[in-house]
A and B are shown apart, each in its own frame.
Chain A
Amino acid sequence: QVQLQESGPGLVRPSQTLSLTCTVSGDSISGGHNWNWIRQHPGKGLEWLGNIYYTGSAYYTPSLKSRLTMTVDTSENHFSLRLSSVTAADTAVYYCAREDDVSPYTRYFDFWGQGILVTVSS
């Protein structure tokens, strides 16, 4: 069974950098899937942040592209997210998820981490 687990600090100071890691078990991160970060503001819907392939090729949502960096470590079978210059608006539950696809028109997230609440506050 594929499992994903987010880890990182639950509290980040404003203007600092938020760093999270997603550790994958039950699947190889080099197995051909895209690996994604998604967040959910309190009481709100889901927001896709970006994804990364095992080669290191990453795509970011345009609104956060200037502050986002995603990396992958195939030896540790994990991938990471860094979001710089955070504000209170970045307070959210952050999820990592595996992306699967059956065609270019059908892509979905079949396995999710449990999520980690990150609060931005001084």
Chain B
Amino acid sequence: QAVLTQPPSVSGPPGQRVTISCSGSSSNLGTNTVNWYQQLPGTAPKLLIYSNSQRPSGVPGRFSGSKSGTSASLTISGLQSEDEADYHCAAWDESLHGPVFGGGTKLTVL
């Protein structure tokens, strides 16, 4: 059972905007920032967003993130077929003294 809660799946046609939610508690999202990882089929996760809304070098601007209280979201604008992947949210947890993850959301581009 994942500590952070994400929807199992989302979908949308090319060009549309989709949002993936991530819900936590005071010991993780309520205290620390959220990170998002993209996992393409058969590959390792890749850092997509860190510190709620920062994009590492090379990540397209159509990926954006935000956080409010104990909830966070990842928005993908202008969906492309290559965005089809699993997306995982994560945050440091004060109780665990380590990071906790969501269960992952599978994005399907219709």
Within 8 A of B (CB), among A87-105: 95, 102-103, 105
Say yes or no for B37: interface residue by CB 8 A criterion.
Answer: yes
Interface size class of A (residues with CB under 8 A): 20 to 34
The stretch from B12-20, B40-48, B72-80 touching chain A is B40-48
Interface members, chain B 66-110 (any A CB < 8 Å): 88, 90, 92, 96-104
A16-65 CB contacts (< 8 Å) to partner B: 44-48, 50-51, 59, 61-62
Residue in contact with A46 in the complex, picked from B31, B50, B104, CB distance below 8 Å: B104
- Given known contacts A46-B104, A61-B96, is B50 in contact with A106 (CB within 8 Å)? yes
- Is B35 an interface residue when CB atoms closer than 8 A count as contact? yes
A108 contacts B35, CB within 8 Å?
yes
| Additional pairs, 9, CB under 8 Å, beyond known A102-B50, A109-B47 | A61-B96, A95-B45, A105-B31, A106-B35, A106-B50, A108-B90, A109-B99, A114-B44, A115-B44
Q: List 29 A-B contacts (CB under 8 A).
A: A44-B103, A45-B101, A46-B37, A46-B90, A46-B104, A47-B101, A48-B96, A48-B98, A48-B99, A51-B98, A59-B97, A61-B98, A102-B51, A105-B31, A106-B50, A106-B51, A106-B92, A107-B32, A107-B92, A108-B90, A109-B35, A109-B37, A109-B47, A109-B90, A110-B47, A110-B56, A112-B44, A112-B45, A115-B44
